[in-house]
Amino acid sequence: VISWGIPGTAMQGLWMLSEAQVNQVIKYVRSIGTVKEDPVTGDPLKGLALFQKSNCLSCHSVKGRGSNIGPDLSGVGTRRGNSYLNEMLVEPGKQKIRDEEGFIQFLVIEVKTRDGKLIKGLRVNEDTYTIQMKDVEGRLYSFRKDNLASIKRIPEASLMPSFAQTLTHEERQDIVAYLLTQK
């Protein structure tokens, strides 16, 4: 497939690559999208109970249940590993998810209207002239940029709270164990 492509699709053949180069491409492709298997010490059933008690579905969704303010966690167990999920519970703004063009998804922004109203939420869409966002209650807003007093992008921020102080290490491990079952 790498050497000759797939006829009728955008996958062109790379016939000019040597066998060693094709093997390098194969090795690279197999490495992307894999999740490092870290040992899981938590209890997924306790994690589910804590996930529900912590009201995670008020921002996230799992298999069609919940909200769409934060990332959908359906299938998160196939995309993320133990270390990543633990880090998100402790420092949720540290790592950013980027789309195909490299733009930060779930970017926290603050807009100030000309009448002084301050609205904080997540950027949904932005172009040269407009910006759309949703607040923590899920209300959608659309603004013409020239009608705003200011737009502040806060890439290091997250609307998700840190659970470093509110949950013990064991409780966070339980939630991670639950999330890793979502495949």
pLDDT over threshold 80, residue 13: yes
146-172 pLDDT per residue, tens: 999 999 999 999 999 999 999 999 999
Average pLDDT over residues 105-112: 95
Q: What is the structure's pLDDT at 34? A: 64
Comparing 118 with 3, the larger pLDDT belongs to 118
pLDDT in tens, 17-64: 899 998 898 888 877 766 566 788 999 999 999 999 999 999 999 999
| Token code pair at residue 26 | 């194969």
Q: Is the pLDDT of residue 101 over 80?
A: no
pLDDT at residue 107 in the model: 94
| pLDDT of amino acid 7 | 84
pLDDT tens per residue across span 120-142 = 999 999 999 999 999 988 899 99
What's the per-residue H, E or C state across the chain? CCCCECCCCCCECCCCCCHHHHHHHHHHHHHCCCCCCCCCCCCHHHHHHHHHHCCHHHCCEECCEECCCCCECCCHHHHCCHHHHHHHHHCCCCCCCECCCCCECCCEEEEEECCCCEEEEEEEEECCCEEEEEECCCCEEEEEHHHEEEEEEECCCCCCCCCCCCCCHHHHHHHHHHHHCCC
